[in-house]
Structure 1
């Protein structure tokens, strides 16, 4: 009688075979691929280090801001928050808010340089773009997938950080002592502005990388582009509001200036003459008070004219500015796709 044996078998209930373990390991490795298939998976796989770094950094920043807000609310509770009593500003530590606003101001620059610039420049420099061009996937699909996935990660990350910063700042937002809303520290760090500025800089960096085709050079040029965007935006920011003019006819004494709402941004202040003309408030800056009064009397100055933008316009100004930035971003993205469709490789 012969006996047949099976060397690869295992007793019932003794565990999985080596092939089962390998299959399970492969299934775990394909977990994300099952959710991101085809080109989406390839783009994520290629840039996963940058994407995960950005998402992780955003998560840590959100956690820190949540903790800092709890600390701030604990302090404000001692002054009757939400109806704060006078004197709360004296011992208020605004250092964490200042540091966070400075970090948010750097986001468009850092993400534009390290995520946007290398996105296409790296592929063009090392020849990956030629390999993709030889496949069945069209250039347009490849470009739109890269841009779309990168934009999604950038929007999710910056929107989360911006939302919690806005939530943190809101209890003390009306006080000019803590982050002036008209400055970059407040205006550019809250609402939709950080998202729009970062997305614009990133897509601009992608376009620069596509044209220059060298990673390091593209990062340097994108750095200059990002700084230029910040400078132009700083001059453009307050022009988004509608200035309100208020005048007085009670002379120019210390108590005759018009009432301007708290935290309002004063655009300009001038002397008002009897004829209704405006004269620069420094026009009669004479050495002596007598000479200054004579100058004012000669010019027939009767009061003041103030132009200001109230804080109540901040939200509408932010959304208007963000809309303009997003429109410009869409235009650059269209240029990248149009140019890349014919001249990428």
Structure 2
């Protein structure tokens, strides 16, 4: 049965291997060049924070880092999208046809008419092709994690939705889930094209829903309340006027480096009510004119007398790998549940 499965899977496997090899060559050629440029610039201003200085040399080196970011940014976004799409493609082209095509063409009758039981027939298919799918996603994830290392350091964050989903071990969980999803869809629909459409639609919905709704709550966030005063305002990167100045909020409050801010509601008073900018016009020169001045050096001192605060919830940098494991585990469990359902369904089928 393993030999038969390999014979059926040989063409997709060879095609996938060729694509992985081509991608690896592209990653290595561009990645080595980028890593060399980054290492050379880093060595010129070690440690890295020296590039943030005000001397002409430091500014020049900082400009070189910015140029490096801008030069590779389009490729960075494209490769991230590619790695995020790999699990979906595996579910479409390896998972959905795995059983759906055999049921559609009737070739499953040949296997079921022999001594091979239908559960063993399905188990071998799922084990062989599923392992190949997870391995393929792992290779792409490792290549991108290595390739984007310098850019991740310069960007200073690994929490962006697409960045988190394309790094580390999360793509392995996605691949297992997408493959099981495609296999189950093919088994239920008994048609390859409809199964591919269902797999793609379901995977896209989950990729939108999970980062926005579930991921921020995988681990309890840390919540900090910042008093609004001159010190806090001066360390923020500006003030945001929301809902036509009905709410105000500080931008990029001084949270620890490497954190993911999951919630930053507007500035509130001691009673927990949002504060409108119009309630304190003396603190915002130019309020009500066509353009509010962006110089808020004195706004913090002015607002301090009103006992205001802004609460920020964030996931600390130490939660990155626990959340990677948690998300991977969730999708592995979902994939195992779909596989278990497929075995239950195929055993109940009489025809």
Sort the TM-score into its range (normalised by shorter chain). 0.7 to 0.9
Residue 206 of structure 2 corresponds to 229
Residue 210 of structure 1 corresponds to 187
Instruction: Determine which of 129, 140, 161 is the counterpart of 1:184.
Output: 161
Residue 332 of structure 1 corresponds to 338
Query: Structure 1: any 5+ residue segments left out of the alignment?
Result: 1-38
In structure 2, C-alpha distance between the alignment counterparts of 1:226 and 1:303, rounded to whole Å = 40
Task: Quote how far apart the aligned CAs of 1:344 are.
Answer: 6.9
CA deviations 1:234-273 (Å, max 9, x no partner) are 2222322432122233537722755312342222234354
What are the within-5 Å matches in structure 2 for residues 1-345 of structure 1?
A: 39-81=1-43, 83-84=47-48, 85-86=50-51, 87=62, 88-92=64-68, 93-94=71-72, 95-176=74-155, 180-235=157-212, 236-251=214-229, 254-255=233-234, 259-270=254-265, 271=267, 273-274=269-270, 277-280=271-274, 283-286=275-278, 289-290=281-282, 300-343=306-349, 345=351
Query: Structure 2: any 5+ residue segments left out of the alignment?
Result: 52-61, 237-252, 285-298
Change (3 A) 1:133 1:114: same
TM-score normalized with structure 1 length: 0.78
Query: Does the aligned pair in 1 maintain the 2:87–2:137 contact within 8 Å?
Result: no
Task: Quote how far apart the aligned CAs of 1:288 are.
Answer: 7.0
CA deviations 1:215-246 (Å, max 9, x no partner) are 12211222212211212222222322432122
CA deviations 1:298-328 (Å, max 9, x no partner) are x953333222223332222111100011011
SS of 1:135's equivalent in the other structure is: coil
Which one has the bigger helix percentage? 2
SS of 2:168's equivalent in the other structure is: coil
In angstroms, what is the RMSD of aligned CA positions? 2.6
In structure 2, C-alpha distance between the alignment counterparts of 1:204 and 1:53, rounded to whole Å = 21
- The count of aligned residue pairs is 299
Query: Does the aligned pair in 1 maintain the 2:170–2:324 contact within 8 Å?
Result: yes
Question: Which has the higher Rg, Structure 1 or Structure 2?
Answer: 1
TM-score normalized with structure 2 length: 0.77
